[in-house]
Structure 1
């Protein structure tokens, strides 16, 4: 009898302890630019902000903290691997987006250069998989701490035919629609989300067969399925990785919202894009409504972030290369438009309502923040974690002015703006140095004074260029990051410190 009573009391204690851990919602948007919302991340509302309608982003910011200097990587898979591992791209080696096993996707445009070896198969929670980074993923760590772990939407953690293709191999208990593709075959249920009888479209959204042939957008279908999973968590805390395919191409009309943008005079492309944004925002609102209805909002950490800068040089409406202004360029570039992203955090009892931080942070910090919130630690993991907890910033603290971020993209894209080219970059405080691989030239900007990166100060600040290039070279070599290959010379271009 005493043993039975002890077991009951122990069970109650464990349940109470589990309930004290915050639920975690990581809401990741695909390709959403810094300006693609009605919530300003610049000094005031801009022309671009006025094109969009995102009341739930505004609602989340009113409850928590908005970050105006948050950074991700230049395109999707590198950021998603950083989110799951807490690693810098220089250390996880996934420097571009993954697709087919052992193949580099989306290359071309210059016969004189070639990509070096890189982890083209993405992330793996199992050792010994070629061309992957082996690490302890966030959902695996949270599951060990008692969390129900749910993935919903875009995964794109690893290439087709590798373990990382399936979110279940990374510690998720549930996978809703996630696979190896970086974009949906279609957003439309009437088109079966890209699925066909021949199963020949690798970008088709897996699962969700119950919605095939129905007039529903995949953004809505994924949200509905995620909320069903939240209803079955019992007393366990949950980790919901809500990773919408929106607002990635293909730009298909969401008929719930698109007419208002046609009526506002936007061209067809931009009207469809704005409707994708509003549909994504509705998903955020549906989740917030659920949390409030179930009285879970006071114990749920919500992190909203985009995986890279906004698309602007291809697929968007006219004029091109203006959609992220005042930031320069966009997705896949090393300029602010490619790296700076919208980010909002609400942590009950930690964040003060309607606060704004201009402190620098980077996407791998989310890993450490979420793990710390769950009572975990980055000690003893397979990987060395580069991200730090942003809890001090959420309480109004300041970042170290010496903290350094770095990026690496030794790849070529087949089409697009001249701004989109192979680069490595380093940021310290407001200063950012970009090393352009093909020309082996440097560009230096103070983004506090020159947010549009118009004035290259490399010639005026040779000592700063030399110091930052030396640090960047050291970081690249420490992470064994390979440089772009010069095919004419038959070897890699020099590291930035070697040029000077």
Structure 2
């Protein structure tokens, strides 16, 4: 009897002890912030994302990026895609653009943004973008990242640039793609103005002028405020309101900056002008610092509200830095030592700054040279959020980089191939800009040009600027990589251009070897 009494007493103590712990979900579901910058280049920061600090790094003042890097993992070989909509659709779905076929930037329903060409006819790509339903022609329907998070207990907040579905389609509204809150997101990827005194591109105060006026911020029209600061304030207000929901939050803070028009952020512009910078570059640098101030304000809010210990921050740009037009100095050099910029298959168009802070998991500062791509955000964030056994209607190409964050190795030198697919014509001319498909395997990178059939081979470890085409010196490597690229593109039924003269599709990258 006495033995039974003690057994029951121990059992009650154990039950009482375990009942004092929070439920498992409360322990394992962190808050998550994705902080996306538009058109920010690999060199546009005082944080060096290379082995060397460059003169360009010294031009910019980004102390809050430095702070984030000191507390997390800095990725020196992180990639997006060459222009915005493909990258953003890949983040939302985990699919590579070759699979989701949103291969160029979207805007008007049923209207391609491809520029005309004298040799190529461009494919019938998914010009209407990402959709929550399968009834919209020329679009991809997929199970979105915020929808899965929403279904698994997250309060989902969208602030800033959306640019997923074309105007007049369900996908233009983030609320249809899994967000509980949408602030300032719509179909357009650009804007008329960053300035409140210009109503953020809307013609009249209190109105929304499509396509380039930023919607939903009418209370700031006419004020001398910058959009970057306004979006930060609105994001913080949304986080304040989220306290009442009593759920972990997912904040997708997607800045319109540093996209054109290059307009000065007057909080910071004067000092760059006084440094002797050209007008466009002084404006650009002030926009970069305004973005960094936003990051600092968000981090300060988290700390002041005891949220910093349970909030993951993922920082990235949606493509390489603009360099073909609108900038000061010589075009195609702003991302040097990388070649070219936005719109290009070369590294300047696709390699981007990336930092991840994960309190309790990552002890910063750490640097990872393993290569990752924006497609990887989808499975990585779901793993961070402990969303398990989820179902998607799409096949996911991305691979979780959580093992890297936990100090493990993800890629051996040749195990994983990264693919970029751009069978389109962006507009500006420049190095690496054109209809291409590209593959990276280890240090080797192969670029295939649909118009000419040319194959370029680079070794990025030795030649980060892609100035030496090694295709003729390494024919077996070219064949190996072209075969892998062609096999992947066929496996996802990727689009490809046709020749105007014959109406025949351009060959696959490996067809010259078969």
Q: Deviations over 1:220-273 (max 9, x none)?
A: 111101111101223210000000000000001111000010011100000000
Q: 1:213 aligns with which of 216, 222, 227?
A: 222
Q: Deviations over 1:366-404 (max 9, x none)?
A: 111111111113642111111121111012221222101
Instruction: Give the 3-state SS of the residue equivalent to 1:492 in structure 2.
Output: coil
Residue 142 of structure 1 aligns with which residue? 149
2:302 is equivalent to residue 295 of structure 1: no
The structure with more radius of gyration = 2
Q: 1:313 aligns with which of 310, 313, 324?
A: 324
Q: 2:103 aligns with which of 81, 92, 95?
A: 95
2:238 is equivalent to residue 229 of structure 1: yes
Contact 2:128/2:165 (CA < 8 Å) preserved in 1? yes
Moved more, 14-23 or 180-189: 14-23
Residue 7 of structure 1 aligns with which residue? none
Residue 3 of structure 1 aligns with which residue? none
**What CA RMSD, in Å, does the superposition of the two structures yield over aligned residues?**
1.6
Whole-angstrom distance in 1 between the partners of 2:511 and 2:185: 42
Q: Deviations over 1:70-110 (max 9, x none)?
A: 011111000000111111111111111101111111513x2
Counterpart mapping for 1:469-488 below 5 A: 469-488=482-501
Residue 158 of structure 2 aligns with which residue? 151
Residue 127 of structure 2 aligns with which residue? 120
Whole-angstrom distance in 2 between the partners of 1:361 and 1:180: 27
Moved more, 26-35 or 400-409: 400-409
Moved more, 117-126 or 303-312: 117-126
- 1:18 deviates by 3.6
- 1:418 deviates by 4.3
Residue 8 of structure 1 aligns with which residue? none
Over 3 Å off, 4+ runs: 11-16, 197-201
Q: 1:32 aligns with which of 37, 40, 48?
A: 40
Residue 470 of structure 2 aligns with which residue? 457
2:113 is equivalent to residue 105 of structure 1: yes
Counterpart mapping for 1:328-339 below 5 A: 328-339=339-350
Q: Deviations over 1:427-482 (max 9, x none)?
A: 11111110011111000011011100011111111111111111111111111111
Q: 2:175 aligns with which of 168, 171, 174?
A: 168
TM-score by length of 2: 0.93
- 1:111 deviates by 2.0
Change (3 A) 1:12 1:74: farther
Whole-angstrom distance in 1 between the partners of 2:200 and 2:114: 23
Residue 202 of structure 1 aligns with which residue? 211
Residue 398 of structure 1 aligns with which residue? 409
Whole-angstrom distance in 2 between the partners of 1:20 and 1:427: 35
Moved more, 413-422 or 62-71: 413-422
Contact 1:368/1:378 (CA < 8 Å) preserved in 2? no
- 1:44 deviates by 2.0
Instruction: Give the 3-state SS of the residue equivalent to 1:491 in structure 2.
Output: coil
Whole-angstrom distance in 1 between the partners of 2:218 and 2:56: 37
- 1:133 deviates by 1.0
- 1:414 deviates by 2.8
Residue 260 of structure 2 aligns with which residue? 249
TM-score by length of 1: 0.95
Change (3 A) 1:448 1:98: same
Instruction: Give the 3-state SS of the residue equivalent to 2:250 in structure 1.
Output: strand
Contact 2:262/2:284 (CA < 8 Å) preserved in 1? yes
Return 5+ residue gaps in structure 2 as ranges: 1-18
Residue 81 of structure 1 aligns with which residue? 89
Instruction: Give the 3-state SS of the residue equivalent to 2:490 in structure 1.
Output: helix
Contact 1:309/1:339 (CA < 8 Å) preserved in 2? yes
Residue 443 of structure 1 aligns with which residue? 456
Contact 1:41/1:342 (CA < 8 Å) preserved in 2? yes
Return 5+ residue gaps in structure 1 as ranges: 1-10
Residue 67 of structure 1 aligns with which residue? 75
Q: Deviations over 1:158-199 (max 9, x none)?
A: 111111111010000111100111112110110110112485
Q: Deviations over 1:404-428 (max 9, x none)?
A: 1101111113323143111000111
